[in-house]
């Protein structure tokens, strides 16, 4: 990423806002991705390089996650290489929630959960939703995140699909990534809380 791309990205994040609401519609937070952005101009830097400053303030949710050490590392390069937005959401979901990833401990998630939590469009035809999810899971499989997946449909009247339970088996490379993330999280927590306890 060159300097111009970096500056443009920072400006976009400063102008783009998002809101988080409860299921009943009560707002929890609304804020730009970067609430405060200060970028010194090239002229400022040339005149006084020691005094020229750039400043970015993270979103309060990001700051809270950093302060509480609740974030997790994951394969960002693979994440950015996906064609489907839903593939990125599923990858991040697995990286954050599937901390016990192993060959003997598959991950299960319902179609209704995926649609609700990912913000995907809910088609009136359930078959369209399943095709979208399975295309995303196929992409995760092609990237070496999952080894395989199975779909178990729950049907109602007239054989209509009510929901689908997806059972995902992780790839060995993803298991290795999760173990690294777990070890790093444990190390960071021990260091942080150990230092706080010694004060």
Q: Give the model confidence (pLDDT) of 156-181 as tens digits.
A: 888 888 899 999 999 999 999 999 98
Per-residue pLDDT tens digits for 179-193: 998 888 888 778 766
Contact assessment for residue 166 and residue 108, using Cβ atoms and an 8 Å cutoff? yes
Contact present, 165 and 108 (Cβ < 8 Å): yes
In the structure encoding, which two tokens stand for residue 49, read together?
């390089």
- Whether the predicted pLDDT of 97 surpasses 80: yes
Tokens of 57: 């303030």
The CATH code of the domain at 76-177 is: 1.10.10.10
- pLDDT score recorded for residue 193: 64
Averaged pLDDT for residues 65-76: 81
C-alpha torsion angle, residues 178, 180, 183, 188 (rounded to 10): -110
pLDDT digits (tens, 9 = 90+) for 98-124: 999 999 999 999 999 999 899 877 766
Give me the percent of the chain exceeding a pLDDT of 70.
94
Q: Where are the domains of the chain?
A: 3-68, 76-177
Can you read off the two tokens belonging to residue 20? 């988080």
> Is residue 197 pLDDT above 60, yes or no?
no
Supply the pLDDT for residue 194.
66
Q: How many residues does the chain have?
A: 199
Average pLDDT over residues 12-31: 84
At residue 12, the pLDDT reads: 94
What mean pLDDT do residues 32-58 have? 87
């Amino acid at each position: 990423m060159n300097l111009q791309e970096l500056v443009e990205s920072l400006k976009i994040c400063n102008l783009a806002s998002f809101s988080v609401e409860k299921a009943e519609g009560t707002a929890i937070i609304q804020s730009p991705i970067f609430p405060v952005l200060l970028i010194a101009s090239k002229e400022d830097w040339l005149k006084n390089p020691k005094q020229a400053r750039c400043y970015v303030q993270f979103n309060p949710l990001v700051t809270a996650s950093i302060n509480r050490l609740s974030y997790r590392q994951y394969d960002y390069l693979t994440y950015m290489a996906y064609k489907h937005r839903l593939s990125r959401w599923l990858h991040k979901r697995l990286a954050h929630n599937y901390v016990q990833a192993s060959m003997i401990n598959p991950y299960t998630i319902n179609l209704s959960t995926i649609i609700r939590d990912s913000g995907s469009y809910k088609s009136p035809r359930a078959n369209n939703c399943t095709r979208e999810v399975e295309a995303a899971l196929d992409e995760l499989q092609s990237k070496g995140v999952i080894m395989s997946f199975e779909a178990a449909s729950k049907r109602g009247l007239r054989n209509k699909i009510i929901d689908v339970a997806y059972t995902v088996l992780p790839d060995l490379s993803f298991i290795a990534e999760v173990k690294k993330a777990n070890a790093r999280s444990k190390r960071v927590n021990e260091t942080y809380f150990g230092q706080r306890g010694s004060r």
